[in-house]
Structure 1
Amino acid sequence: MGKGIVILGSTGCIGRQALAVIDSFRDKFQVVALAAGQNIDLLEEQIRRYHPRLAAVLDEEKGKRLKERVSGLGVKVVVGEAGLLSAATFPEAHLVLAAMVGIKSLPAVLAAIQEGKNIALANKEILVVAGKLVMEKARKYGIQILPVDSEHSAIFQCLNRGGRVKKVIITASGGPFRELPREEMDKVTPEMALAHPNWRMGPKISIDSATLMNKGLEVIEAKHLFDLDYEKIEVLIHPQSVVHAIVTYMDGSSFAHLSYPDMRLPIQYALTWPERWDNPYGPYLDLAALGRLTFEKPDEERFPCLRIAMEAGRQGGTLPAVLNAADEVAVELFLQGRIKFPAIPHLIEEVLGRHQKVEDPSLEDIWEADAWARRQIWALIEG
């Protein structure tokens, strides 16, 4: 029997790629539980292919329909938040891949940690809004949080080389609008923003990459994941997306992680850690064919979301939860065509400015801040 894997968000972009990785090593892994929000058509296909013991659906009505459709296949279908908890704490699981968008899987991740499951974290929002709570619980129960974001996986692999860390550099492609004249930003459409030049991702993260909010969230995630001061984290634009992170030590040595932009690589490393298995996908990096790698500082006037996110992270408390919730709603409004692209950072900053921060928030404080921010941004739009 292989290593027991649970995938929270199996029908999403990361979840599908994780199953593709598992396909390459079918004798090494066993998919014991899958969870999805509401895409029961794809979840049914995954159940028939991977034969998990448990399947969870957040949408209760769709979960009931799935239960009828997979009757007789030997899979128990559970629904709602309780179902998600059941999947995350499934007894036969060795590793839980948290790949659901947003923070709806936060209680399940905390429960999995308490049950002694290592976490492969592909969901940066969980650490953005509750990084202190999650990392304290992981330390208490001796659990390894394995980053799946390409940048954080790269940092993870470059750390612990001996000596003190001077600086950690997180790279960003710059997205599709790195060279777009500022006066053209008003004309950006959702279709243009979704067309990332290097990565193929879901709609929310694609828009966040276009605004550079994604990079700001990654800075907050890195702070908690690696216990770094914000002053030691730097963002550089690297259009080729080949160098994913650089760690510089106090002796002047720098270690960089390089690979072609392919999310299957950090997913595979999280699934196989502490081992490093052969790459079945290819191709291997060819620096001569690339010719050159370039870096530049981000233009924070063109992309104010980066500055806004980093400032919210520095101030801490419930501000990162407000930041995350306001961004989710603003991105959805843009995708629906209700606001223009430059309105995303303006709305987020307005909501942050109205918030009364809770300095050391509990989980309940975080939920309240999240709900408050969503109400505020809708009030601004409707007003």
Structure 2
Amino acid sequence: MKNVVVLGSTGSIGRNTLSVLSDFADRFKVFGFSTNTNTDLLQKQIQRFQPQMVAITDRKGFEAFQKTDETEILFGIAGLKKLCSEPEVDLVINALVGSVGLLPSFEAVESGKDLAIANKETLVIAGGLLIRKAKEKNVRILPIDSEHSAILQCLLTGKKEEVRRLILTASGGPFLDRKKEDLKNIKVKEALSHPTWEMGKKITVDSATLMNKGLEVIEAHWLFDMPADKIRILIHPQSIIHSMVEFVDGSLIAQMSVPDMKIPIQYALFCPERLPTNNRPLDLTQVKNLTFEEPDQEKFPCLEICYQALEMGGTAPAVLNAANELAVKAFLEEKISFVDICEIVTATLKHHQVMENPSLDDILNADKWSRQEAERIINSRSEVGM
């Protein structure tokens, strides 16, 4: 029986994770979980799973939350870190959104816990440091993103030196067929309508700009120790093939399934073991076609800026990520236009003096600087109008 912590249990990935854990209640016990503001759902989850402790990162939510004798209620980042470091915990599942997931990830690894990670920002911001720390502590980092889970599974069919390249697939988002000149008029409601996945607002906007796929390139670089020029993106609107690995002999190994996050979540929990479940299998007779195309990098410039940040290295990916978080927030608040998102990220990165081989403190300082700079750029644009 493994004790599991689920960070971000009230989000889409977190809810799916608890569902999978429920299916294997004989193998896992939910030791604790966390939320930011959704304390109503958290209360229901506490009643269902009876965890030993939970964390609430929103101060108002924490202060208003009805405490219980059975479950310890923790607050803030310190609460998240405490959850991750408890001696009884065997596995931490990080389903947080944004850079808030960084310090809990490091706390989990530092404390010797295996880390199943859906929080791609941790790997984007400080992937090199985290991977090195995991090797030092002899713990596993297991991807939950469907694309990286797919690549992990495909890589098991060969040796690293036999890999020609990794191929990440992308649905293309809701604006795949829109003209470039129409994107400046995109409304928030349109950007939040993803054709395949049900996700939180931030990651849904990232999928619309294809920033999400660019961040996944950086994530794949660290997870699989693969240079950027060996990581390719293909648009695949059907979202049936989740990613592929091309080998030097011309073989192409792909992982296919219905678009259901419970499948990669379960794989992360049991990797490399596979157990029977009620997950709906893929019926190939119902798959009429599988199409692929190159991404339009002029229409979706976020892809190129992610490759550039990875090439720049050092603190550049942290600056990219923080600026994007601020820009997406401003777009959701209707302060900037859809196309402004990438322009703000690009401008922030351009103004940054990259530090090579940064420490975790250096990365946190770069993150702070980027947020201030992006905020300054956003405010200057808001003053003159979109």
For residues 239-279 of structure 1, what are the alpha-carbon distances to aligned partners after superposition, in whole Å with 9 as ceiling and x for unaligned?
00011111111122221000111111101111122321113
Matched residue, 1:333: 330
C-alpha contact (below 8 Å) 1:24/1:280 kept by paired residues: no
Alpha-carbon contact 2:330-2:378 (below 8 Å) kept? no
Q: Deviations over 1:117-150 (max 9, x none)?
A: 1000000000000001100000111111010000
Deviation at 1:176, TM superposition (A): 0.5
Matching residue's letter, 2:201: P
Where do residues 56-75 of structure 1 align in structure 2 (5 Å cutoff)? 56-66=55-65, 69-72=66-69, 74-75=70-71
Give 2:38's aligned residue.
39
Aligned to 2:369: 372
What is the DSSP-based 3-state SS (H/G/I as helix, E as strand, rest coil) of the residue aligned with 2:266?
helix
Question: Counterpart of 1:298?
Answer: 295
* 1:244 paired residue number: 242
> CA separation in 2, counterparts of 1:123 and 1:341?
23
Equivalent position SS for 2:99: coil
Q: What is the CA–CA distance in structure 2 between the aligned matches of 1:83 and 1:351, rounded to whole Å? A: 31
Find the aligned partners of 1:242 and 1:279 in 2 and give their Cα distance. Answer: 19
Give runs of aligned pairs for residues 268-279 of structure 1, distance below 5 A.
268-279=266-277
* Distance in 2 separating the partners of 1:114 and 1:299: 41
- Say whether the 8 Å CA contact 2:151–2:244 is kept in structure 1: yes
Alignment deviations for residues 281-311 of structure 1 (CA, whole Å, 9 cap, x no partner): 31x1122211110111000001000111111
Q: Does structure 2 conserve the Cα–Cα contact (< 8 Å) formed by 1:44 and 1:70?
A: no
TM-score by length of 2: 0.95
RMSD: 1.2
Instruction: Point out where structure 2 has 5 or more consecutive residues left out of the alignment.
Output: 381-386
Distance in 2 between residues matched to 1:240 and 1:233, nearest whole Å: 21
Native 8 Å contact 1:7 1:35 kept in 2: yes
**Inter-partner Cα distance in structure 1 for 2:85 and 2:32:** 10
Q: How many residues align?
A: 378
Give the 5 Å matches for 1:1-383.
Answer: 2-66=1-65, 69-72=66-69, 74-163=70-159, 164-282=162-280, 284-383=281-380
> Which one-letter code corresponds to 2:164 in the other structure?
K
Identical residues among aligned pairs (%): 47
After TM superposition, the structure 1 stretch with the greater mean CA deviation from structure 2, 264-273 or 36-45, is 36-45
Q: 2:29 is paired with a residue of what secondary structure?
A: strand
Matches of 2:269 and 2:283, distance apart in 1: 25
Instruction: Measure the CA separation in 2 of the matches of 1:184 and 1:262.
Output: 31
State how far apart, in whole Å, the 1-side matches of 2:63 and 2:186 are: 40
Amino acid at match of 2:58: D
Say whether the 8 Å CA contact 1:240–1:294 is kept in structure 2: yes
Contact between 1:212 and 1:306, CA under 8 Å: does it hold in 2? yes
What is the one-letter code of the residue matched to 1:119? L
Q: TM-score, normalised by structure 1?
A: 0.96
The one-letter code of the counterpart of 2:50 is: H
2:115 match: secondary structure = strand
Report the Cα distance in structure 2 between the residues aligned to 1:21 and 1:162, rounded to whole angstroms: 29
Structure 1: gaps spanning 5 or more residues: none
Report if the CA contact (8 A) 2:84-2:111 is conserved. Answer: no
Q: Is the CA contact (8 Å cut-off) linking 2:99 and 2:322 kept in structure 1?
A: no
SS at match of 1:268: helix
Contact 2:101/2:119 (<8 A) preserved: no
What is the alpha-carbon distance in structure 1 between the residues aligned to residue 76 and residue 184 of structure 2? 40
Kindly state the Cα deviation for residue 14 of structure 1 after the two structures are TM-superposed: 0.8
